[in-house]
Amino acid sequence: MTISGHIYGVVLNDKPELEKLASAFEAKPYAAPPQAPVVYMKPSTTIARGPIAMAASEALVASSTLAILFARDASRCSRSDALGTVGAMALAIDISEPQPDYYRPAVSRLNRDGFLVLGEWGAPLADPASLRIETEIDGEMAHGWSLDRLHRDPAQLIADLSDFMTLRAGDMLLVGLPGDAPIVRAGQSIMASAPETSLSVAQALFVEKQS
């Protein structure tokens, strides 16, 4: 399977991050925490095709997560039917610029060309909600998280999104980003893996941008 539609991601789907931001969401300009999934879109040009170029002075956030590719349209589907619309899954690393908050964030911070690293697509996992993803930077463990940290697990996320938008066959969805994702710099390498699963690793090399 290949991506033939839109690429979506969600922020604020990490329970520890939501808890950390709880008091901020009660104040202005938010006034209340989000009630529905907070979705963003990524153009196809964000998919990495080789080494990732960045300025020597930059520090970027590297969020390892699970990508799901839809085989059937999902529209107002139930939680129990949600995973039946998925045709493939892959590990992903969503690279972004650090941002101080989520109030009207600059879209460009999430959508720089070549900043979405994808592993090879594989068969859907029976229980993606229990998946553990580990991230190594320069061969050293830098981060690990389990998708049981998600505020909405993959099945619930698909069901809730499908209440107000149709996820079409060929669309891709990143299920959530860890609020404590590690920082990467030029000259480093990164690899995301899911131990004891059939998912292929996602990996990339960061190189200094030439002026």
Backbone angles phi and psi of 135, in degrees to 5: -120, 125
pLDDT (tens digit per residue) in 77-89: 999 999 999 999 9
pLDDT tens, residue by residue, 167-192: 999 999 999 999 999 999 999 999 99
Band the pLDDT of 34: cuts 50, 70, 90: confident
The predicted model gives 56-76 an average pLDDT of: 96
Tell whether the model's pLDDT for residue 138 goes beyond 90: yes
pLDDT the model gives residue 189: 96
Amino acid at position 4, single letter: S
Phi, psi of 205 (to 5 degrees): -115, 135
- The full 3-state SS of 139-170, as one line of letters, equals CEEEEEEEHHHECCCHHHHHHHHCCCCCECCC
Q: Is the pLDDT of residue 211 over 70?
A: no
The answer to whether 109 and 115 have CB atoms below 8 angstroms apart is no
pLDDT band at 35 (very low <50, low <70, confident <90, very high): confident
Report the alpha-carbon angle 3-8-9, nearest 5. Answer: 130
Instruction: Collect all residues with Cβ–Cβ distance below 8 Å to 204 and sequence separation of at least 6.
Output: 48, 51, 52, 93, 95, 117, 189, 190
CA of residue 97 relative to chain centroid, distance: 14
Least confident of 8-22, 56-70, 121-135, 141-155: 8-22
The pLDDT confidence band at residue 210, using thresholds 50, 70 and 90, is confident
Phi, psi of 187 (to 5 degrees): 95, -10
User: What pLDDT, in 10s, does the model give residues 84-110?
Assistant: 999 999 999 999 988 766 655 566 667
Encoded tokens for 151: 């505020």
Q: Is 84 left (phi over 0), alpha (psi -120 to 50) or beta?
A: alpha
Interval 13-38 mean pLDDT = 81
pTM of the full structure: 0.92
Residue 143 has pLDDT above 60, yes or no: yes
Q: Which residue has the higher pLDDT, 160 or 112?
A: 160
Please report the DSSP string for 2-69 in residue order: ---S-EEEEES-BHHHHHHHHHHHTSTTT-S--SS-EEEEE-GGGB--SPEEE-TT--EEEEEEEEEE
Dihedral, CA atoms, 113, 117, 122, 127, nearest 10 degrees?
-110
φ, ψ (nearest 5 deg) of residue 89: -135, 155
Element at 89 (helix H, strand E): strand 86-96
